Chain A
Amino acid sequence: MMGPGLSADLCIKCNICTASCPVAAVTDLFPGPKAVGPQAERFRHPALPSADASVTWCSGCGTCSRVCPHGVQVTEMNIQAKAKLAAQRGIPLRDHLIARPDLLGKLGGPIAPVANFVLALEPVRWVLEKTAGIARHGPLPLFASRPLRKRLSRLLASKPPEGAVSDTVAYFHGCSANYFEPSLGELTVRILELIGYRVILPPQGCCGLPLESNGLFAAARRYGRYNVSSLAPFAQVGIPIVGTSTSCTLALKHDYRAILGMGGENVEAVAHGVYDIFEFLALRHVDKLRDLVCRPVRMRALYHAPCQLRSHRIGMPAFGILKGIPELSLALSESECCGVAGTYGMKAEKASVAMAVGRSLFTQARESGAQVVISDSETCRWWIAKHTGLAAVHPIEVLAHSLEGLVKEQDGTRW
């Protein structure tokens, strides 16, 4: 594949990316993807410092690359340019911190009740904003006391099982389902088991995407190499690797190769073998799900496809499957991005732009009368819940309610 920088030559300056960019639409601080991408790339010399810092306003949502009709890797180019600028200017401690959800999870999990209580205090958030630059209104997830890998330790497997593996699926839960939302991980496993799969949890670390988007490429590659070496044996024998975090799965599929410059047989095998959970269900089990989905889910919901999921270039498989649930009234979000774009909205200096990007989604959620927002990405869910006051859930949670016997009434619901 042609590197992102060279793809600038494919640009014909049609401005389709600029017209679609959710950030350029709300702030004049950002000249737009074409200007900071294929246009500015001509003035970036590998050995010389970057001359213009306006690319730092790019949230990395990926819309520009997806709408480009000519194959210019605009986002990829801009994320690399941002990393170079970050290295040049020095990366603040804050960015090192918010880019390491696994570290935060390891530290916060054991003291979950205390950590959750303290981090919910407004004065604490005020101090964090003033001292560290972590946006006061940026949502922080709640730590779970027992991580998923402890709860489901019976499913841990360091290598593929012997013999036939056609009924086996490997689950890449990522940091979020491990440390913050283990119940989502458990539901996912139960749904896959209901369909007839044997689910295993392969060894895995953080996907590295938050590190990458904060310019910490070397650290991101270390995680990347670890994940590729642990997952490749599964991919190579044809065991699908499914994930519930759209950012993790995007990193495994795309970013390792296209942004971090990793290559080789194992990287390719993993990229090809990774599926978003609903992509997997839609590809292989539409008929089976049609039979299983039977319980009505009586609510009004707004489905928002995260920008990261859109970058998978697979459409919106969850929306297609949820549409089959009886009595679920489902509207579709008209926004390309909710604004938070991973860690972008967590930064004090970016928070107002991120809010402005999200405004149209928040308004639609209010005006649609939705009781719940459904979104596949954890950072989107936390951000949308914080700014709409509505519950925000993973589509798996909604699907689970429609499957007979999977969720007991007394389990309670988040909506």
Chain B
Amino acid sequence: MAEIVIVGRGLAGLTAAALAGSSRSGKVTVIAQGKGGLSLSHGCFGVWDAPVPLSALDDLPKTHPYSLIGIASLQQGTERILDLLKAFGLEYSGSFAHNLRLPTGLGSVCRPAFAPMPLASGDLQNAAPFKVAGFEGFRDFHPEIIAANLKQMGAQAEDAILLPMISPPKHRDAYSTDLAALFDDSSWLEETARAWKPRIGSAKRLAVPAVIGLARAEQSMELLQERLGISVFEIPTLPPSIPGLRLERALRSACLSSGVSFIDGAAAVGLVDGRSDGRRVAGLVAQTAGGPREVRSDSVILATGGILNGGLVARPDGHVQESVFDLPVIHTPQRSSWTDSNPWSSQPYSRFGVRVNERMQPVGSDGRPMFENLYAIGGLLADADRSHEGSRQGIDIGTAYRAIQVILS
């Protein structure tokens, strides 16, 4: 029985764990210093920010993660994870043939290939007009800005409206998580729908903050649409982002139901197998509340993310370190060259990271694997500017799938 330890529980780590777990091939453990950033995510899967996502992938440099895994891995991995999510109550819509055009919380446009149903139904390529609704007292969503910006770019947004909130929190601001919990309460939802009905006027479609339920999101959205008698779609809010939390819940449930275990809250330090002449890793040393504890395993997958996520540590002197095994990091030591003066351009620091081969094994400057049984996936990888490319989730899912495929083969 092969044991796999995955470091990090963002989208890449949880995807790898869910895929490995569902193959039932051995023990899978996820260890992570904090919760991954899914509560900051819109929950959509971006592949490439172009009208036809796959068209751009043919001309990428050889070291780009997409070139290393190949388009087939990207597609198969995405299909596998979408099936798994559907089995755990989260249905996505979209395709690799052309991107969706979804409104953001600022009224700009986001172009993911796949999105959860309640967001995907807000695709701006659907020409039916809609109103943008905010909720009284909910300050993490601004319908006026969204409607004005969308109108300016020619989208069919009508006006912005403010809808009443029944029994909102009294002692502090309402958080998205408060609202999601309220929407999951069907009697509250019924009362709310009655109060809204006269306020939505002639609107045929309604855009609302993405807070319509968390634990029972699918049923809550269905009930709301039924009671209002019109179609409703969601636009992401400021964090905590409920669509990201729904994704995290579904992935974690998928992991737990297939026996994946979690060591939450512990940072990890790499452990090299002394008997292998430095060619293999032996596992990790977990930094627990008491002290260091060894976690041994047959293979280790690093899904620790980039500079913002703790996978890479940028030192004041310009040195960039990989945080678990101190692997070689592709970067330039002159800090002045890390950023481009135009904030909308691709940023050089975004391409810093660990370079891997086609098997997702980190490699040294000679191109050879650093260790036989160590793999790196997701935001830790070099040679991609995931924000600029709109490739964040595609890289997470595709590289996670590829690593698991290699380990299990």
Task: Point out residues on A near B: beta carbons under 8 Å.
Answer: 14-16, 18-20, 24-25, 28-29, 31-32, 35, 65-71, 249-250, 252-254, 271-275, 279, 283, 310-316, 319-320, 323, 332
Contacts and interface: CB of A to CB of B under 8 A. Distances in A.
A275 B290 contact: yes
B264 A315 contact: yes
17 contacts: A14-B239, A15-B39, A15-B240, A16-B39, A29-B171, A69-B309, A69-B310, A253-B288, A254-B290, A283-B294, A311-B265, A312-B290, A313-B263, A313-B266, A314-B266, A315-B262, A316-B261
A65 B265 contact: yes
Nearest to B256: A332
B34 A67 contact: yes
Contacts of A311: 265, 289
A118 B178 CA distance: 42
B393 to A, nearest CB: 18
Contact of A69 (B35, B245, B259): B35
Contacts of B35: 16, 20, 67, 69
B115 to A, nearest CB: 21
A14 B40 contact: yes
Contacts of A20: 35, 39
Given A19-B39, A323-B259, 7 more contacts: A28-B169, A66-B264, A69-B33, A69-B34, A69-B35, A253-B289, A273-B290
B138 to A, nearest CB: 13
Contact of A272 (B33, B256, B290): B290
A28 B169 CA distance: 6
Contacts of A70: 34, 310
A320 B27 CA distance: 11
Nearest to B266: A313
A66 B9 CA distance: 13
A379 to B, nearest CB: 18
Nearest to A276: B290
A249 B291 CA distance: 12
Nearest to B309: A69
A201 B91 CA distance: 56
Interface in B59-98: none
Contacts of B177: 18-19, 24-25
Given A313-B264, A313-B288, A14 B37 contact: yes
B214 to A, nearest CB: 10
Nearest to B291: A272
Residue among A16, A275, A320 having the largest count of chain B Cβ atoms under 10 Å = A16
A320 B37 contact: no
Nearest to A67: B35
A71 B323 CA distance: 14
A69 B36 CA distance: 7
Nearest to B310: A69
B291 A71 contact: no
B275 interface: no
Contact of B293 (A28, A249, A283): A283
A69 B181 CA distance: 25
A271 to B, nearest CB: 5
B286 A314 contact: yes
Residue among B172, B245, B286, B287 having the largest count of chain A Cβ atoms under 10 Å = B172
A273 B291 CA distance: 8
A253 B290 contact: yes
A261 B119 CA distance: 48
Contacts of A249: 290
B31 to A, nearest CB: 8
Contacts of B31: 315
Contact of B37 (A16, A252, A272, A279): A16
Interface of B: 29, 31, 33-37, 39-40, 169-172, 175, 177-178, 181, 239-240, 245, 256, 259, 261-267, 286-291, 293-294, 309-310
Contacts of B171: 28-29, 31
Residue among A29, A31, A67, A275 having the largest count of chain B Cβ atoms under 10 Å = A67
Given A16-B39, A69-B36, A312 B288 contact: yes
Contacts of A271: 290-291
A283 B295 CA distance: 9
B105 to A, nearest CB: 15
What are the 4 A-B residue pairs with the smallest beta carbon separation, nearest first?
Answer: A69-B34, A28-B169, A19-B240, A66-B265
Nearest to A274: B290
A12 to B, nearest CB: 8
B37 A69 contact: yes
Given A65-B265, A272-B291, A315 B29 contact: yes
Nearest to B169: A28
Contacts of A18: 175, 177, 240
Contacts of B239: 14-15, 19
A68 B33 CA distance: 8
B188 to A, nearest CB: 15
B250 to A, nearest CB: 13
A20 B33 CA distance: 15
Given A19-B240, A19-B245, A254-B289, A313 B34 contact: no
Contacts of B266: 313-314
Contacts of B289: 250, 253-254, 311-314
Contact of B34 (A25, A68, A272, A323): A68
B396 to A, nearest CB: 16
Contacts of A313: 263-266, 286-289
A310 B35 CA distance: 13
A355 to B, nearest CB: 16
A39 to B, nearest CB: 12
Residue among B240, B245, B265 having the largest count of chain A Cβ atoms under 10 Å = B265
Contact of A67 (B263, B265, B267, B288): B265
A315 B263 contact: yes
Residue among A65, A271, A313 having the largest count of chain B Cβ atoms under 10 Å = A313
A314 B291 contact: no
A368 to B, nearest CB: 14
Contacts of B181: 25
A18 B293 CA distance: 29
Contact of B178 (A15, A28, A65): A28
Contacts of A253: 288-291
Contacts of B262: 315-316
A315 B261 contact: yes
A371 to B, nearest CB: 21
A52 to B, nearest CB: 12
Nearest to A312: B289
B263 A314 contact: yes
Nearest to B168: A28
B343 to A, nearest CB: 18
